[in-house]
Every structure is written in C-alpha cells, then in structure tokens.
Structure 1
C-alpha cells in the first residue's frame, strides 16, 4: 500500500514572524495546540531579491564532493544560494523560533539518533524532524499531520501506530521515531538517494515516481532547477541542509545548545499498566505530579490509559530508584516539581516493592476519613457504595465475601468498607496478567505449502524485510526457521473459558496466523496451554 501524493508532510517554519504567545493565544478550545502557520516556502523571485543573484541553485565553492555513497553520507553538502537564503532566514528573521526548536530537539536528540542507528540510518535525519515540527510533540498541521514527524493518519497506521479517540501514537516520541525510521528506510530503498527520499517524504512517493518517469532523471537538483517539483519540495532539502549547518555552527551564529545532566526521558521506564486506569490514581500512588505523567505519555488523549487496547499497555513512568532525585537533577520545564522527599539512604528492596510493585492498581484503600462500615439505604448497590467511598466494586465484594459485585443488597445491611491485606493481595494476584512478554522476534518454522508471499501477508510484514533479516538469497524450504521482523514474541497462558477465536481477537491476530505460529492443526485449546502471540 502506497501513500497518495500529498503535501501533508509540511514544514512548521513560517514566513511571517509570529510570537509564541500570540500563537498560544489562538489555541483551540480542545486544548490542543494547532500550528496555524503559513508553510515555510518562498518563491524564487523573493529568494533572488534577497540573495542578489538569479543563479540560486548553482553550486557554490565549498561544497563537498559526492565520493561517499548516499546511504553512508546522507545528503550531499551542496551549498547553493537557496540554502544560504534559509540559513539567513533561520538566523535572523526566525531566530527566536529556531532557538526554541533547538531547545526542544536537544531534549530528545540522543534518543532519536540511537533509534536511527538501530536501523542503520544516518543520525542526521534528526534535522528532518527539526524542520517538520520543531520537536513539539503535539504539533498538528492544517492537513491533520500530527506529532514530531508529522504523520497523516493513513501513513501512521501503515507503519503500525495506533490512532483512536483514546490515544494517538504519532505523538509518542519513541513510537513515532521508530515508524519514521522504517519509512525513511523504505524511501531510501525505493530511490537510492537521500535527496529524493526526503523530497518524497514531503511530497509523497507516488508523485515522486511519476516525476522521475516523466522527466527521465533521478537528480533532485536538476528537477529543482527545471522547476519540475512543487515549490515547497524544492525548498525542503535546502532547509534541512541549512538547519544542519546552523546547528553544527551554533556558536558562530550565536545560538545556544542547552546542556543538561539529565533529559526528560533519561530517568524513565515502561511499566505494564491496567487498561482504563486513572492517571490521577497512578500519579498519587507513585507520589508524582500528574502533569509530569501526562508529559511523559503525550500519546494519551484522556486522563487515563486506553480502555480498548490489544495486549498490555505500557505506561512511561519515572524510574523508582531515581524518583527522589528528580527534583534536584532532572527538573522539567513548565511542570510542577515532584513532591518526593529526599531519602537519607537508598531504598530497601521491600520499600521499593511497596511503592512501585503495582503501579497499575488502584490506590491504597486505607483512608483515615472513611468509616469502617456502611449501612445500606434504599436504592443503593455495591457499585454506588464503591463510588461513594472511592473503592473498587470488586474489592468491596471481596471484603464482604460476596461472589460478585452485582450481588443484591437489603436495606439496613452492614457493609464492610475495609478489606484486609490478604484480600487485597488475592485481588492483585487474580488481576495479574497472563501474558509473558519477551524482547525477541517470533521465529517461524516453514511447513509444506508455505511461500514468502503468504508468510509476509499473514504477519503483516514485507518480503524484502524477511529476506534481509534472514539473509535469504533464494526461496525457503520446508523445516527452515526464519525470523519474522517487526514482531514481538509473547507467551499467553490459556484461561478457563477461552477459545481460539477469543484469544485471536484479544491480540488482534487472524486465527490463521495464530494457528501458524503455534503449528496447530485444530482449533481446540485447553486451560493452561501456552500459546505464542505477537505483541507488536
């Protein structure tokens, strides 16, 4: 499936200087900051007028030769008057905004460069995001392109990101950067040129292919000189080169590169969390500010984890062993500081477990202001009573030895509001996840009748990716074990009452795929059986 030619992948830099306070004043009622800006493009007449010459795309002295292949050298350091125009633009007219973009980007830069290196991509692709969004994670364009890499909905889903009313993974730095890395890799494999790859990232790969066929050239600069590309796309690569040049020579241009001991994501980790869990509850349990928790998880559109999510939802939280140091070493700009007291000595394992072992549970039911018992009044149920005293209905039912929280009550009945510790522990054990997640991809054993096309279709992968990961030069043979890229192996323990359709639906897997990876010939399963599932 290919992306339609579009201009959705647009830059956030603007031609009219608008102060940040003025922009924020135009913030929509939804609370979401929408970039109501003009695209950072300039017609050739304006550029010629500024630089004082008509040869705006001619190569200037000082450009590096292209002796190193594109895949290793990224963009050619091709200096032109057009690039110099954007250098001047970033360093004078839009200077304050570009400094903010640098500040935003440095907060995430080392994480982004590490991800690109994992995919064997040039770390200089970081500067594309600087132009796309200024690394404002909540960036949203007129065309509804969202996040640091400005993915439209179709492309985001195509590269595996979940988008729903409850969450938008395009705004998650790590998930969006992994998707961008896969997209950049696909584009470079398609065009074998980083100039054309970035141009197609901006204008759409289908449109770029049509232009290459129509004009018979793979030279980005030749198409630019002949005005065979949209104006925004002609300026896109020079803008990236200009941003690289300015940041790499920041001291010369008077920009400040912020230096911090810790960045916002440095002292964080992912933890499995219950679905539809209140962020306020989690923050209170961990002793941190909820605004920090929301800042660490920008993909969440509500003040809770998603109710409808396949698999286990992983929430990003501060590392507990560093929690008491966050005030001192890792302040977060614009966020209320965390009220965690400094500890005189490191936490014991018992204390660590007490504070952090069950982030995904409801807060401690012990409440000094809550009475120990409640007398049932007319019309009351366990659900209404649980809401009144801020306790879950299941815990309330367990504290009173009821089989279910739906049990009928009688007027005047005495309800115990203080479940003991044994009941709390048993409730936690009952709610413990039955999925064991690994960091390994799924390994599939080829059977008679299999083909690479069928395997790629079943596991939503690409034939080229399977060949590359397994170093396949020819076809596959029966009994051969192949690694499935972009999969994450997990082991699910079948529960009483489960059936194959239910399990497949729970993990958003086709039944045929589930049977394939588990070498199943029949649909019959039994309680306690271990099934391999894909969590990616």
Structure 2
C-alpha cells in the first residue's frame, strides 16, 4: 500500500523513511483524527466520489483533512475559509460567489469542485508532479516558483524540503509530509483494525446528499419543515448561506440547497415547487442615530419582526451593523 500512496503523489520510495515522525504524531492523536472522520460521515463519500470523477488520486481526500479537518465552516486567522481553506480572492477567481448573503467557500460541492479544478491546474503548471501541485496549493504557485528558483531549478522534494536552506515556509514543508503521513495511516488495515475502524477502508464513494435547485428568497425553514428536519439541522448542510433564506436576486436565479439523500422523496411530496416568497429581504447598514423604531418605520415593518428575523435579544444597535429587512411584496 505504501508504494502506491507515494506513487499517487509522484514521490520516490526513499521519502517513506522521512515519514516516521509525522506518522507517529498522527497515530498518537489517532482518536482525535478518527473522531473527525466519524463526524464527517456525510461529507467524505461525496468528496471521494468527486475526486474519482475528476481522475485525481483518492489520497487527495487528505488535503481537505489537513486544511480544515473536514470542518465546513472552518475559518483561519488569515481569512481562509471552508473545507478547502480558500482565500477570498482565490475563491472568486475560481468562480465561487462571496457576498453579504452567501459564501460558497462553505458550499461542500462547489468548493470541492473548485479545489479539484485548481489542483489539476497546478499539476499542469508544475510539470505534472502532484507533490509540487500540493505544495503550490498551500503556499501559492508564485511562492513555489521562487523556491525552485532559489534552489537553482531543482524541483526534487529532498531539495525543496531542506530544513537548512529553507526554500519553502515551514508550514509548506510540514504540509506535504502531513498529507502523505495521513494517507499512510488511514490506509493501514492493521492500524484501523486495532482501532475497530476497518469499515473506513470500505466506505464507498457514494452520494449522501441530494442537491435541490431553488429560487431566490425561499426561506430555509420551509425546506426544513417539508423534510422533517429542524432549521439548525438543515443549516449544517448549507453553511454557505449566511441567513435563513436564499439570497435575493432575479426571479430566475437558482441556488443549491443540500438535504440528506434519504429525505428527497419527502421533499418531493411536501414542498410546493411553485412557491413564490411573499416577501423579499434586503440588508440595511445601521447609520448614526438610527434605532429599531426609525428603521421599522422606514421599511413599514415592526420592531418585533426585525428582532425575530435578526435574532436580536434587545433593541441595542451599533453603527454599520447589518440588519436583514423583510419587505412585503404587493
């Protein structure tokens, strides 16, 4: 198994000897990482399936594990977000939408499609060497090129990971090691058997979520009610929406809403697909001197409705605070 995993990253067998320390560290924290796998039961088969469809090595699942531990709404101090930890500009360049209402870095399927496409692009840019593509994903293609230039054009991993020369940042040097080590550990039948988790080896690449195409303004609560889920449970699969409704926009604009696959028949039975929202939503940025009273009068709504929609416990507002305003359609 180990030679196959190294081959997946275009690495030589001698790299295996360098993995002992990283592998030992992962195995010593085995229960933590195994818990992350357990908590991501819904998402991992989808990612596996998409990786297979794109023709990438299955070991690239562990890029997401190292980036975010499969936490859909993971957020870094550097403003990277989502399971694949995209920076805002990179995400937008890959076609992901980020605005006041939605952040598609937290959309499992769209962000995964973007990440796999980006990795394939980096693979071509780096001379079809997966280990170079993975490192470029972490530190940026420009930074990798600078490191190769400083190494006099040497792209071998042993050179680029040189701890003394430090051609690459420490984070990137550890990044590739950690991904390979995780691939080795979580494909080790003996290790999984000793932890009573052999079934992870056989977990299929199947879809566990169904994708609904719904129009702007639809409240997520209606979808939740139609399939017998709480709103909070539904939002766990749909963290790309910042509010409990689909973003406002043109009547023909559609958004992806994800539900457990086994709930699809209930949705088809209970949800009115011709539903048209009787209200639209806009964002209002609080200005100096404004109160809930003045804002409710401005938009012909009530203070209680503003509190309900925005989850406010009291009437205190701060300048530049964003409020969701329901606007009744006539």
Normalising by structure 1, we get a TM-score of: 0.46
State the Cα distance separating 1:311 from its structure 2 match: 2.7
Q: 1: distance between equivalents of 2:198 and 2:70?
A: 15
Q: Which residue of 2 aligns with 1:311?
A: 253
Q: Helix, strand or coil: the match of 2:213?
A: strand
CA–CA separation in structure 1 for the residues paired with 2:221 and 2:172: 44
1:155 CA displacement: 0.7
| Bigger relative contact order, structure 1 or 2 (CA pairs below 8 A, ≥6 apart) | 2
| 1:230 equivalent in alignment to 2:169 | yes
Output aligned runs, 1:60-459, within 5 Å: 64=3, 74-80=10-16, 82-92=18-28, 94-191=29-126, 192-216=128-152, 217-225=154-162, 226-249=165-188, 251-252=190-191, 254-257=194-197, 266=207, 268-308=209-249, 311-318=253-260, 355-358=270-273, 360-361=275-276, 405=330
1:223-260: CA deviation from partner (whole Å, max 9, x where unpaired): 21343222221121111111011101154264443859
The structure where helix makes up a greater share of residues is 2
Distance of 1:306 and 1:294 partners within structure 2: 14
Paired residue secondary structure (2:124): helix
Query: Secondary structure of the equivalent of 1:107?
Result: coil
- Mind listing any 5+ residue stretches in structure 2 that lack a counterpart? 279-299, 306-326
Going from structure 1 to structure 2, the CA distance change for 1:322 and 1:180 (only over 3 Å counts) comes to: closer
Distance 1:215 1:140, change over 3 A: same
Displacement of 1:161 in angstroms is 0.5
* Deviation at residue 170 of structure 1 after TM alignment: 0.7
Distance 1:256 1:165, change over 3 A: farther
Answer yes or no: is the 8 Å Cα contact 2:9–2:130 preserved in 1: no
Q: Deviations over 1:402-449 (max 9, x none)?
A: xxx3xxxxxxxxxxxxxxxxxxxxxxxxxxxxxxxxxxxxxxxxxxxx
Asked whether the 8 Å contact 1:74–1:124 carries over to 2, the reply is no
- Shift of residue 125, structure 1, vs aligned partner: 0.7
Equivalent-residue separation in structure 2 for 1:63 and 1:185 (angstroms): 23
SS in structure 1 of the partner of residue 211 of structure 2: strand
What is the CA-CA distance between 1:361 and the residue it aligns to?
4.2
How much does 1:169 deviate? 0.7
Task: Write out per-residue CA displacement over residues 385-410 of structure 1, whole angstroms, 9 at most, x where no aligned residue.
Answer: 9x9xxxx966xxxxxxxxxx3xxxxx
State the alpha-carbon separation in 1 of the partners of residues 275 and 198 from structure 2.
Answer: 35
In structure 2, the CA distance between the partners of 1:79 and 1:280, relative to structure 1 (3 Å rule), is same
Over 3 Å counting, the alpha-carbon distance change for 1:135 and 1:267 in structure 2 is: closer
Quick check: 2:84–2:111 contact (8 Å CA) kept in 1?
yes
Kindly indicate whether the alpha-carbon contact (under 8 Å) linking 1:63 and 1:78 is maintained by their aligned counterparts in 2. no
Which stretches in structure 1 are left out of the alignment for 5+ residues? 1-61, 325-351, 364-382, 395-404, 406-536
Q: C-alpha displacement at 1:360, in angstroms?
A: 4.4
State whether residues 45 and 208 of structure 2, in contact with CA within 8 Å, keep that contact through their aligned partners in structure 1.
no
- In 1, the alpha carbon distance for the partners of 2:123 and 2:222 equals 45
- Structure 1, residues 315-353: CA drift from partner, whole Å, max 9, x if none? 2234577556xxxxxxxxxxxxxxxxxxxxxxxxxxx86
Change (3 A) 1:222 1:353: closer
* SS class of match (1:288): coil
- 1:240 is paired with a residue whose SS is helix
Aligned length: 279
For residue 248 of structure 1, give the secondary structure of its aligned residue in structure 2. Answer: coil
Q: Distance in 2 between matches of 1:130 and 1:202?
A: 13
Decide whether aligned partners of structure 1 residues 317 and 119 sit closer, same or farther in structure 2, where only a CA change above 3 A counts. Answer: same
